[in-house]
Structure 1
Amino acid sequence: MTKDVIALTPGMPDPMALLAGLHAGGPDLGVTTSADDAVIHLCTPTGRRLVSVEAPVVVHTPGEAERLLGSQVAVPEVPFWWTEARASTAVPEAEDLAGSFCGRLTLLLGGTSWPPGAATLRVVDTPDDGGITAAPAPEGALPAVDVLTDATAVVLVDRPVVALTAWLSDVLRAAVASGRALHVVTPPHARLSLPLRTALTGPPNRWVVQDPDDGYYDGLSGAVLRWRDGAFAPALDRDGRPAVAKAFRPPGSTAERQLTVSFRTHHAPEPDLVLGLGLEAAWRHLTGAEPAGWGTAEPINLPWSPRQLTALARGRAPDPSQLLAVGRPDRPALATLRVQRTRTGLAQEVTLALGLAAGSPAPLDAIEPLAEALVARHGLRTLLVTLHPARADLTAPAHLEHPPAPVSFTLGAADVRAVGIAHARRPPLPHRPTALGPAAGPALHYRFGDGTDASAWADVDRLTRHLAAART
């Protein structure tokens, strides 16, 4: 598994501190850079990469280090600097080298490192390459991965929570651009953060769990996997169906839950349009506060600012932007926001997940007022709300979880007009929808239940068919 060591320092890693860290292997090691100098590589004299150091990130968001690394690390007060050193799995000494790099940073700048006890100050002796010279990486090559084939980029990671870091996001983007799948291999105790789980949902990308009994299995579907033709692929049973790993069985029931709110808004291309306000409205309705931070990768490091978010998306246009937001530690909440141009304006797609501890009520009474606010001020097109038993910390374990149950669906005014209001008002459901917004052109809010009955998906299917029939 990839051995990562992270330095958490109250002071910014300045050039002198970085230079001291880069001498962790003595003066004979070389230094190269990649990603427009954002990543520094410690190399053997022949060019073999041993440790890759990501550009330091300043974290302003309370609770991010605890969310991703656990509570066993004494984290500096925000803002603090997060510096990752990623050791090569091909050289055993590389892990000690990464630990010595981070140990020198924390000695000079204060703070602490993760995992506990990994940081040292000793000079690490590295092996002789026997005169073999590493070939330089070609232009546009994938960021450092553990296994690369024509079909797949494989990365091995051992962390309590495997997150969508800037490095892993770059690997995913480069893998897609090269026509490869990304397979993230972890031990069975690892969990995925919600953004990474979303990114790996569905083939060809996979979360591959290394289990002592089943070998390898898919952490999201449970399919037993075998390495074949340069990729992990499902192993078939005697009937030709994918075999399911025993380790994927659920360990038991949980009283914790997750409420998921997914909605899409659309706006005309106005020059003073500010993005993220619909997401902020949802956060306020459901938690009573705005998001704590936003960013493009984890850790989510910037204080919440719709105007800064808008400026970044404008700078990336016409390409779409995929952004993240996080709540405060006492109210677990995570969201993804995708901003994309359309022929007629700008679409924002939001998925917001709320973690509910055992005994905490779900804020179902806030759903209809939220839908009304999104209709009135944020150009709502669709809104789907679901609830299901799952970890309140919003991480995904490598075993089967209970499926979500639908709570409600809201169809925006423009789509109601497209369907026909008379038809949309009379679905084959037990309850008639509630009209939201102007009486002359309302949106419609359909209720399915309290999120405890998964069979309510049959009502969702009937509604979908009913609305689609009118469009046809």
Structure 2
Amino acid sequence: MTKDVIALTRRMPDPWTMVAGLLSGGPDKLVDKTGEGAVVRLCDGEGRPLVSVEAPLLVQVPGEAERLLGATPPPVPYWWTEARATTGVEHAEQLAGTFAARLAALADGSAWPPEAARSLAVVQTDGVSVAPTPAAGQTAVDVLTDKVAVVIQDRPVLAMTAWLSDAFRTAATAQLGLQVVTPPGTTLSPAVRDSLSNWPSRWVVRDEHDGYYDGMTGAVLRWQDGMFSPVEVAEATADDPRTPVAATYQEVTATDERQLAVTFRTVHPADDHLVLGGALESIWRELTGEPPAGWGTAEPANLPWSPRQITDLARERAPQPTWIVAVGNPNRPGLATVRINRTKAGVEEHVTLMFGYGPDEEPPVASLAKAAEVLATRHRLQSMLVQLRKARRDLAVPPRFEGPGVPLAFVLGAEEVRQMPDDRARNTPLAQAPVPLGPKPRPTLYYPLPGDPSDLSGWQEFERLMRHLKGT
């Protein structure tokens, strides 16, 4: 039985409905709240979280249940309620499944996966009570050592859910890495990729041939010294002393699908008229003809797109940073992550944006210069890098080798161009001169690059350009 179960319902689970679901373990079971009331937990007699239940989330964005679960939800808007059972604790998975089944029955919906929520029977689990402090503040992890917290996720897509985001924050506060173990069929949401790239955090994939391997690098892993880490050199063969790479990771499938990736940074004066999210909306419109469909502080993205709401949230959280995810219409796969920081320079937005294209679809390469000009003239663009690569249209990251992207263009903002001495920004060693964008007295410069996904020499050109601009 899966460790995660999710109820997708037409009606909001009201407090009595939630209680009826929580009491699926029997009327003597008590609950505990954590995360400012966002999570309800059943805990065993030793204070270990048994089942963690997220607050119901109203999803107003189409396509999220299909993207993250492969499930068919009720019509938008609908309610998404997650319950997670801690592995290794008796009856926990049954209790979570029964909770989701009762919730779906009472609030008119369905549960995912269907086989996890077939029973409405009471699950007998004696000794469950309110978690004592400090256990009540701990995230329900499966293994905890002095180096890492390990969680097991059995989902089709490993997404940046509210629960996983909280696990990252809790681990970071404790100065621990977070290692997420998944079955071989799981893919990774791009929203999670950066967080799992920071050592000792890892995406650990179970494999029938090599045991475990890193889903992003392919390195064969072993549990040693309190965490998953690459096989030591002594375990490698004499012919190849490097860290072994899992055979499954090397099973590459040729694809005609492509991804267009854009990373950029803007900086704005911190004044009362500032509206955040406008830069992302502008480039999204230039490249697709429409704005993002929705956004959220976790996945699923549940709110209709609204720069004003994003701005209000960032102001409430300042001076702490704000992280959001934005998604597109299901017909045009698109996903962006935005990190908003208050700095001495003002308010900075760091955006990573991706779109997916099938074999019969052409990425809008001809629109890139116009999109860059819009960012430069309206949104105080500092820099932007555009890449193209052969990869899945749905943007999901598989636990297989995918070729790197190649740079299509680099853009340098007007203020950065102005600050460079000796007209260095204009006179580069590249064969093609930069294209000026925006006002002639203070232009932004657009540097075209080869951009052929089958030829990695574009990175050599990009490195030459970077060395030149830095004066090294």
**TM-score between the two structures when normalised by the length of structure 2:** 0.95
Separation (CA, whole Å) in 2 of partners of 1:210 and 1:364:
38
Once residues 120 and 107 of structure 2 are traced to their aligned partners in structure 1, the CA distance between those partners, rounded to angstroms, is 17
Residue by residue over 1:77-112, the C-alpha shift from the partner in whole angstroms, topping out at 9 and shown as x without a partner, is: 111000001112113422221111111111111111
Choose from 81, 85, 91 the match for 1:83: 81
Q: Which amino acid aligns with 2:414?
A: A
One-letter amino acid of the structure 1 residue matched with residue 86 of structure 2 = S
CA contact 2:31–2:129 (8 Å) conserved in 1: no
Q: How far did 1:451 drift? A: 3.7
**Partner residue of 2:466?**
464
2:85, 2:323 → 1: CA distance? 28
Residue deviations 1:152-204, cap 9 Å, x none? 01000110101000010011011111110000000111001110112212322
**Residue number in structure 2 paired with 1:61:** 61
Seen in structure 2, the aligned counterparts of structure 1 residues 140 and 121 have a Cα distance that, compared at 3 Å, is: closer
Q: Out of 57-66 and 438-447, give the one that drifted further.
A: 438-447
Secondary structure of 1:259 counterpart? strand
Per-residue CA deviations over 1:99-148 (Å, capped at 9, x if unaligned) read 1111111111111110023223432333556xx99972417843110001
Letter aligned with residue 172 of structure 1: F
Residues of 2 paired with 1:449 and 1:197: CA distance? Answer: 26
Residue type matched to 2:8 in 1?
Answer: L
CA displacement, residues 332-373 of structure 1 (integer Å, 9 cap, x when unaligned): 000011111121211111111001112210100110000111
Question: In the aligned structure 2, how far is the partner of 1:180 from the partner of 1:47?
Answer: 21
Inter-partner Cα distance in structure 2 for 1:340 and 1:4: 33
Distance 1:302 1:79 in 2: 10
1:319-398 paired onto structure 2 within 5 Å: 319-398=320-399
Instruction: Please show how residues 89-104 of structure 1 align to structure 2 within 5 Å.
Output: 89-104=87-102
Task: Indicate which of 158, 162, 166 corresponds to 1:166.
Answer: 162
- Note closer, same or farther for the CA distance 1:339–1:41 as it changes in structure 2 (3 Å cut): same
Please tell me whether the aligned partners of residues 2 and 155 of structure 1 are also in contact (alpha carbons under 8 angstroms).
Answer: no
Q: Is the 8 A contact 1:285 1:370 kept in 2?
A: yes
1:146 to 129, 142, 148: 142
**1:258-303 Cα deviation digits (max 9, x unpaired):** 1001111111222110001000001001110000101110010011
Q: Which region of structure 1 is more displaced relative to structure 2, 359-368 or 134-143?
A: 134-143
- In the alignment, is the contact (CA less than 8 A) between 2:8 and 2:104 conserved in 1? yes
Structure 2 CA distance for aligned equivalents of residues 125 and 118 of structure 1: 14
- 2:48 pairs with 1:52: no
- Cα-Cα RMSD: 1.9
| Partner residue of 1:199 out of 195, 199, 219 | 195
Distance 1:206 1:2 in 2: 21
Matched with 2:449 is: 448
Decide which moves more: 443-452 or 39-48.
Answer: 39-48
- DSSP 3-state at the match of 1:36: coil
Counterpart of 2:32?
32
Q: Which is worse superposed, 159-168 or 33-42?
A: 33-42
> Residues of 1 paired with 2:296 and 2:324: CA distance?
6
CA 1:230–1:2: 2 relative to 1, 3 Å: farther
Aligned length: 466
State yes or no: 1:111 paired with 2:113. no
Which residue pairs with 2:151 in the alignment?
155
Gaps (5+ residues) in structure 1?
none
CA distance in 2, matches of 1:133, 1:126: 13
Structure 2 counterpart of 1:399, one-letter code: R
On the 8 A contact 1:48/1:133 being kept in 2, the answer is no
- 8 Å contact kept, 1:11–1:80: yes
